[in-house]
Amino acid sequence: MRDMLGREDVITVEKALELIFNNLTPIFPSETKPGIEASYNRILSRDILSPEDLPQFSRSTVDGFAVNSSDTFGAAEGLPSYLNLGGEIFMGEKPSFGIKGGTTAKIPTGGMLPDGADAVVMIENTNRIDERLIEIMRPVAPMENVIRAGEDIKEGEMILKKGHCIRPQDVAALAGLGITEVFVYERPAVSIISTGDEIVSARSEIKPGQIRDMNSFNLAGLISEAGGIPIMRGIFRDEFGDIKNAARESLKDSAMVLIIGGSSVGTRDVTEAVIKALGEPGVLFHGVAIKPGKPMIGGIISNKPVFGLPGHPAAIPICFEQFVKPTLRRLTGISGKGFRDKKIIIKARMVKNIASSMGREDHIRVRLEERNNEIWAIPILGKSGLIKTLVEADGIVVIPLRKLGVEQGEIVEVRLF
Amino acid sequence: MRDMLGREDVITVEKALELIFNNLTPIFPSETKPGIEASYNRILSRDILSPEDLPQFSRSTVDGFAVNSSDTFGAAEGLPSYLNLGGEIFMGEKPSFGIKGGTTAKIPTGGMLPDGADAVVMIENTNRIDERLIEIMRPVAPMENVIRAGEDIKEGEMILKKGHCIRPQDVAALAGLGITEVFVYERPAVSIISTGDEIVSARSEIKPGQIRDMNSFNLAGLISEAGGIPIMRGIFRDEFGDIKNAARESLKDSAMVLIIGGSSVGTRDVTEAVIKALGEPGVLFHGVAIKPGKPMIGGIISNKPVFGLPGHPAAIPICFEQFVKPTLRRLTGISGKGFRDKKIIIKARMVKNIASSMGREDHIRVRLEERNNEIWAIPILGKSGLIKTLVEADGIVVIPLRKLGVEQGEIVEVRLF
C-alpha cells in the first residue's frame, strides 16, 4: 500500500506485528522470589508442584455423624439404623478415638473423619434417641459428604504452570499448600524517549513556542497496566546524535525502547535513521494503514524491539494497543490462552454515520452515554493533536480495513481505555 | 424465599444489594496528594480546572508556510499567489518577527505562528521560486492547519471531575497543563477476619485436622483489584467474644469488614450474632438465592458495611463480585458511568447441558478451550470446598434466577476471573 502522497509503502497492522514477531526471539526476564502477598499479577517463572496433599486428612463437608457407610445400608425413615455414639469430633483436632462396627461420632463441617469412618450422615437425616443412641434415617454411600485426603490437590501434582499470570485464587491455593514465596519473572523495563525541540518537562514553566511533555506520561501508565516497568528517559532534542545516544543507553538496561517522535520537520526520519544506525535487523516497517498512528515505525536491534511512535497524543494509546502491548506481553514470559490480555468491550449504538477509507483501519474515539436504557457511542472527531479528545473519550471503536464506515444506529464494539 | 430446609428466608442478589445500598450513606475517604506519576487508577477528590490555555500559542499542524489566509484567496495551480519569505520559524521558539501583507514564513509542524499569520499552507501546495519568493498553489481558510491557542484546553475549563478514576491519558493531560500533583481519595481499608478452629496461617506447619488459611489471600487480591487496601487481621477461633473483639477493632480503622465463616457447627450464627451485637442497623440479610454463596450475611454497623462470607473457597470470588465489590466501589468515592467496573467477558459455547434450579442464580466455574476456531466453556463441577476448581477455572458463567439451565452448544458469556 502507498500513502496519500505515494511517498512510502504502508503495511497492515497484522503484517507489521508479524514482522516484529518473526524477527524476535523472546528472552525470558530474570527471576525474583517475592512473598505470595506480592505475587498478584506476576508471571510464574517455574512450574509449581504441590509439596503435599490438600487436605491432608478426610474432612466432612456437612454437620452430622461420621459412620462406616455399610452400617447405614438399608436405613430409611420407617426402618432406621441405630448406632452407638462413640464420641464427638472437634474442629482442628485429630479424633482421639476410632469408630468400629455399629458406632458413630458427631462431626462438624470441616472436621477430620475418625479411623473406621468413610462417610457422614447429615444431621437432618438423624435423630438423637438418648445420650448414647443415634437413629440414622438415610443410607450414605462410601465417601458421601466427605472431601478425601488429597482430593483437592495431590502431592506432586502440577498446580500452576510456568508462564501463568497469578490471580487471587492462585495465591489462595499456594497459601493452602504452605507455599509462601514463588519464583516469578522480573517485569520487563521499557524506556521512553521523548523528542522534540519544543518539548519541556511537565515540571517546567513554559515559554512561548514550548509545550510540556504529555505522551511519556500516557505511555508510562499503559506500560504499567500491561505488566512492564516504564523508565522515563527524559526529553531530547531532535538531533540524530542525541537521540541515538539516548536509545543506545536505554538498550543497555531495557527490554524495549519507545521513541516518541517530536513534530519538527524530518523527525520521523531521525528516529528511523537512529534505529537503522544502532544494529540489526534495524527498521522492519515505517508506516502502517491505521489512523491515527500511520507514521508508526517498528524495528528490532539485537533482539530488542524499538518503536517510533508518532507525537500526536491521540495516536499514543492506539499505537500502544496495536503494536507495543502485544510485543511487550511476549517479553513478560507470559504463556497460555491470553484471554486476560483482552480489554473490556461494551456494545453500543453509534449516534451518527462515520465514514472511513477502504484500506485503512480507523480507530474512532468515542464517548459513551446511556439514553433510554441503551448505550450510545458518540464519536469525538477533534484533531488527533488534541489531548482533550482522549480525556473525553471512554473508548475506541475500530473500523476495519475493508469496511467503509459505520451507520447511524449500528451496533459497535467499544474497547474501553 | 425459603431455603431447602425451610430454615430461613433467602433473598435475591438484587434485593440484598438494595438493602445494603439503602442503609449506607457513603462517607468519602480522606484525601492525599500524590505526584501524577503515582496517580494512575486513583479517584480524584476535587474537580480539576485548567490553570492555563493548552497550547498557549497557535501552532501549525503541518510542515509548510505560515500566511495571512487572505493573501491566499483565489490561489490555484494555474494562478498561484506569490508571497515574500520573511524568515523561518524554529521549534520551541517564539518567532522573532511578524508577517505583514504579502509575506510568509517557513514553519514546522508544532511551530508557533508568527504575528500576522492565521493559517498554514502545506509544503506540498507550495513551490520555492528563489531565496525570497514562495509560490502558493492552494488557498487556505482562516485557522486552516492550525491548532489555536487554548483550542485543546482553555484556562478555567473543567478538565476532570471529582470522582473520576485517573487513566493514563488523564495523567498526560495533567502533565501538559503543568499539574504535577493531584488530590485523590485514600483507598478504603478493608479488614479480613478469618475464623475457624481448624484454620492456621499459611506459614504454619499443619497438624492432622488443620488446614491453612486460603480465603484471606483470595479476598486480599480481589480487594486490591477493586481499589481497596486489604488488611489481614488474622485467624480467630469460632468464639463469639474473639470474633466480636476482632470485628470491633477492625471497624475502628477500616471502611469495611469481612468475616470469613469457619466451617464448624453454628459458625454462621456466631457471625450473625457478632454483627447484631456490634451496632445498628446490624444484620440486613442472611441467606441469598445464589450458588455457591447461599449463606452470605450482609449488615451495616454505624454506616460501615460488614459482610459474613461462607468459608467454601469457590464461594469467595462469587460473593466478592456480587456483594463486596459493588459496595466497596461506593466507598472509594468513584462516580460516573462505571463502565470500567465491568469485567472482561468472553463469548463461548457450553460443551454440555447444565441444569440449574429455578429461583437461584447459579454461578458455574468454567475452563475455556479453543477448538476449531471456536471458544468452548467446559464446566468444572467439583465441590465448592475445593480450591482447585477455582485454579482450573478461567471464569464464571451465570445462570440467572429464572433460567433452568444451559444447553449443550448454547452461547454463554464467561466473566473472566
Q: What is the ipTM of this complex?
A: 0.93
Q: Chain B within 8 Å of A36 (Cβ-Cβ)? A: yes
**Crossing angle for the helix pair B168-176 and A215-225, nearest 10 degrees?**
160
Using CB atoms, pick whichever of A110, A225, A390 lies closest to residue B263. A110
Whether B359 and B414 have beta carbons less than 8 Å apart is answered as no
Q: Chain B within 8 Å of A229 (Cβ-Cβ)? A: no
Residue B357 C-alpha, separation from nearest chain A C-alpha, in angstroms: 21
Whether B353 and B410 have beta carbons less than 8 Å apart is answered as no
Q: Chain B within 8 Å of A152 (Cβ-Cβ)? A: yes
Contacts of B226 in chain A (CB under 8 A): none
The β-bridge partners of B106 are B65, B88
Residue B27 C-alpha, separation from nearest chain A C-alpha, in angstroms: 27
Confidence of residue A55 (pLDDT cuts 50, 70, 90): very high
Same domain, B77 and B212: no
Cα–Cα distance measured from residue B344 to residue B97, given in angstroms and rounded to the nearest whole number: 56
Residue A22 C-alpha, separation from nearest chain B C-alpha, in angstroms: 23
Same domain, A37 and A179: yes
Q: Give me the amino acid identity at A74.
A: G
> Which pLDDT score, from 0 to 100, does residue A415 have?
95
Does a structural domain hold residue B364?
A: yes
Same domain, B167 and B211: no
Q: What is the DSSP string of B325-394?
A: HHHHHHHTT--S--GGGS--EEEEEESS-EE--TTSEEEEEEEEEEETTEEEEEE--S-TT-THHHHH--
Grid coordinates standing for A172?
489462595
Cα–Cα distance measured from residue B307 to residue B283, given in angstroms and rounded to the nearest whole number: 9
Same domain, B239 and B328: yes
Instruction: Determine, for residues B198 and A110 on separate chains, whether the beta-carbon distance falls below 8 Å.
Output: yes
**Is the Cα torsion angle A25, A30, A33, A39 positive or negative in sign?**
negative
Q: Give me the amino acid identity at B249.
A: E
Whether A147 and A120 have beta carbons less than 8 Å apart is answered as no
> Which pLDDT score, from 0 to 100, does residue B266 have?
54
> Which pLDDT score, from 0 to 100, does residue B357 have?
85
Q: Give me the amino acid identity at B234.
A: G
The average pLDDT across A293-297 equals: 93
What torsion do the CA atoms of A318, A215, A323, A293 make, to the nearest 10 degrees?
50
**Crossing angle for the helix pair A240-253 and A267-278, nearest 10 degrees?**
50
Grid coordinates standing for A401?
480495513
Q: Give me the amino acid identity at A26.
A: P
Cα–Cα distance measured from residue A362 to residue A214, given in angstroms and rounded to the nearest whole number: 23
Q: Which candidate, B256, B266, B251, B239, places its Cα nearest to that of B298?
A: B256
Mutate to test the interface with A, among B161, B269, B391 (most CBs of A within 10 A): B391
CB burial class (10 A; 0-12, 13-18, 19+) of residue A94? Answer: middle
Q: Chain A within 8 Å of B417 (Cβ-Cβ)? A: yes
Does a structural domain hold residue A152?
A: no
Cα–Cα distance measured from residue A316 to residue B172, given in angstroms and rounded to the nearest whole number: 10
Q: What are the backbone angles phi and psi of residue A90, rounded to the nearest 5°?
A: -110, 150
Does a structural domain hold residue B298?
A: yes
| Cis ω for the linkage preceding A292 (within 30 of 0) | yes
Instruction: Determine, for residues B264 and A111 on separate chains, whether the beta-carbon distance falls below 8 Å.
Output: yes
Instruction: Determine, for residues B217 and A339 on separate chains, whether the beta-carbon distance falls below 8 Å.
Output: no
Same domain, B229 and B323: yes
Is the pLDDT confidence value at A2 over 70?
no
3-class DSSP assignment, residue B214: coil
Mutate to test the interface with A, among B49, B91, B216 (most CBs of A within 10 A): B91
Instruction: Determine, for residues B390 and A91 on separate chains, whether the beta-carbon distance falls below 8 Å.
Output: no
Residue B246: partners with Cβ closer than 8 Å, 6 or more residues away: B193, B233, B234, B236
Scanning every residue of chain B, which has its alpha carbon at the shortest distance from the alpha carbon of A112? B209
Instruction: Determine, for residues A172 and B204 on separate chains, whether the beta-carbon distance falls below 8 Å.
Output: no
Q: Chain A within 8 Å of B83 (Cβ-Cβ)? A: no
> Which pLDDT score, from 0 to 100, does residue B212 have?
97
Residue B66 C-alpha, separation from nearest chain A C-alpha, in angstroms: 14
Q: How far is CA B29 from CA B32, B34, B188, B231, B333, in A?
A: 10, 15, 7, 16, 7
Contacts of B110 in chain A (CB under 8 A): 196, 198, 211, 262-264, 311
Instruction: Determine, for residues A385 and B152 on separate chains, whether the beta-carbon distance falls below 8 Å.
Output: yes
Q: Chain A within 8 Å of B361 (Cβ-Cβ)? A: no
From A317, A340, A363, the end of a domain falls on A340
Cα–Cα distance measured from residue A156 to residue B314, given in angstroms and rounded to the nearest whole number: 23
Q: Which residues of B81-115 are buried (b: 16+ CB within 10 A; e: fewer)?
A: bebebbbebbbbeebeeebeeebbbbbbbbbbbbe
Same domain, B263 and B230: yes
Does a structural domain hold residue A154?
A: no
Rg of chain A, C-alpha, whole Å: 32
Pinpoint the alpha helices (H) of A348-404. Answer: 388-392
Same domain, A108 and A233: no
Q: How far is CA A388 from CA A67, A106, A384, A392, A409, in A?
A: 70, 68, 9, 6, 25
Q: Which candidate, A277, A278, A276, A247, places its Cα nearest to that of A260?
A: A247
Q: Which candidate, A94, A92, A74, places its Cα nearest to that of A82?
A: A74
Instruction: Determine, for residues B220 and A63 on separate chains, whether the beta-carbon distance falls below 8 Å.
Output: no
Does a structural domain hold residue A4?
A: no
Instruction: Determine, for residues A209 and B54 on separate chains, whether the beta-carbon distance falls below 8 Å.
Output: no
Cα–Cα distance measured from residue B377 to residue B369, given in angstroms and rounded to the nearest whole number: 7
Classify residue A115 by its DSSP letter: T
**How big is the A-B interface in CB pairs under 8 Å?**
301
Scanning every residue of chain B, which has its alpha carbon at the shortest distance from the alpha carbon of A36? B217
Any idea which residue has 496519500 for its cell? A4
Cα–Cα distance measured from residue A174 to residue B156, given in angstroms and rounded to the nearest whole number: 52
From A185, A211, A232, the end of a domain falls on A185
Cα–Cα distance measured from residue A5 to residue A274, given in angstroms and rounded to the nearest whole number: 24
More confident residue, A300 or B5: A300
Instruction: Determine, for residues B168 and A238 on separate chains, whether the beta-carbon distance falls below 8 Å.
Output: no
Contacts of A368 in chain B (CB under 8 A): 337, 339
Same domain, A106 and A238: no
Mean of all residue pLDDT scores within chain A: 93
Contacts of B56 in chain A (CB under 8 A): 206, 208, 211
> Which pLDDT score, from 0 to 100, does residue B3 have?
47
Cα–Cα distance measured from residue B145 to residue B142, given in angstroms and rounded to the nearest whole number: 9
Pinpoint the alpha helices (H) of B90-149. Answer: none
Classify residue A43 by its DSSP letter: B
Q: Which candidate, A194, A187, A318, A327, places its Cα nearest to that of A258?
A: A194
3-class DSSP assignment, residue B342: coil
Q: Which candidate, B362, B394, B390, places its Cα nearest to that of B377?
A: B394
Whether B192 and B85 have beta carbons less than 8 Å apart is answered as no
Contacts of B395 in chain A (CB under 8 A): 339
- A178-188 pLDDT tens trace: 999 999 999 99
Confidence of residue A7 (pLDDT cuts 50, 70, 90): very low
Does a structural domain hold residue B3?
A: no
Same domain, A17 and A49: no
Query: pTM of whole model > 0.90?
Result: yes
> Which pLDDT score, from 0 to 100, does residue B7 have?
47
Any idea which residue has 494555474 for its cell? B78
Could you tell me how far CA B222 lies from the centroid of its own chain?
13
Does a structural domain hold residue A7?
A: no
More confident residue, A337 or B156: B156
Q: Chain B within 8 Å of A170 (Cβ-Cβ)? A: yes
Same domain, B264 and B334: yes
Grid coordinates standing for A132?
448414647
Is the pLDDT confidence value at A8 over 80?
no
The average pLDDT across A80-106 equals: 95
The number of folded domains in chain A is: 4
> Which pLDDT score, from 0 to 100, does residue A357 have?
85
Q: Chain A within 8 Å of B311 (Cβ-Cβ)? A: yes
Does a structural domain hold residue A161?
A: no
Contacts of A151 in chain B (CB under 8 A): 386
Cα–Cα distance measured from residue A231 to residue A241, given in angstroms and rounded to the nearest whole number: 20
Grid coordinates standing for A86?
462413640
Whether A34 and A184 have beta carbons less than 8 Å apart is answered as yes
Grid coordinates standing for B93?
521558539
Q: Which candidate, B91, B118, B20, places its Cα nearest to that of B328?
A: B20
Q: How far is CA A264 from CA A14, B62, B92, B93, B108, in A?
A: 29, 9, 10, 12, 5
Number of Cβ within 10 Å of residue B127's Cβ equals 13
From B340, B373, B397, the end of a domain falls on B340
Domain enclosing residue A81, as ranges: 59-147
Grid coordinates standing for B161?
471531575
Same domain, B230 and B171: no
Whether A374 and A303 have beta carbons less than 8 Å apart is answered as no
Percent of chain A exceeding pLDDT 70 equals 96
Scanning every residue of chain B, which has its alpha carbon at the shortest distance from the alpha carbon of A389? B152
CATH of the domain at A369: 2.40.340.10
Grid coordinates standing for B272?
450473625
Whether A17 and A326 have beta carbons less than 8 Å apart is answered as yes
Using CB atoms, pick whichever of B167, B209, B390 lies closest to residue A92. B209
Using CB atoms, pick whichever of B175, B222, B313 lies closest to residue A212. B175
Same domain, B214 and B332: yes
Contacts of A168 in chain B (CB under 8 A): 217-222, 225, 317, 417
Contacts of A180 in chain B (CB under 8 A): 202-203
pLDDT in tens, chain B (417 residues): 454 444 457 899 999 999 999 999 988 899 999 999 999 999 999 999 999 999 999 999 999 999 999 999 999 999 999 999 999 999 999 999 999 989 999 999 899 999 999 999 999 999 999 999 999 999 999 999 999 999 999 999 999 999 999 999 999 999 999 999 999 999 999 999 999 999 999 999 999 999 999 999 999 999 999 999 999 999 999 899 999 999 999 999 999 999 998 544 555 579 999 999 999 999 999 999 999 999 999 999 999 999 999 999 999 999 999 999 999 999 999 998 778 888 899 999 999 999 998 889 999 999 999 998 999 999 998 888 899 999 999 999 999 988 989 999 999 999 999
- A363-386 pLDDT tens trace: 999 999 999 899 999 999 888 889
Q: What are the backbone angles phi and psi of residue A258, rounded to the nearest 5°?
A: -115, 125
Whether A24 and A330 have beta carbons less than 8 Å apart is answered as yes
Mutate to test the interface with B, among A169, A197, A265 (most CBs of B within 10 A): A169
Instruction: Determine, for residues A202 and B175 on separate chains, whether the beta-carbon distance falls below 8 Å.
Output: yes
3-class DSSP assignment, residue A412: strand
Pinpoint the alpha helices (H) of B99-231. Answer: 168-176, 215-225
Contacts of B383 in chain A (CB under 8 A): 61, 147
Mutate to test the interface with A, among B387, B396, B413 (most CBs of A within 10 A): B387
Scanning every residue of chain B, which has its alpha carbon at the shortest distance from the alpha carbon of A367? B337
Cα–Cα distance measured from residue B46 to residue A302, given in angstroms and rounded to the nearest whole number: 47
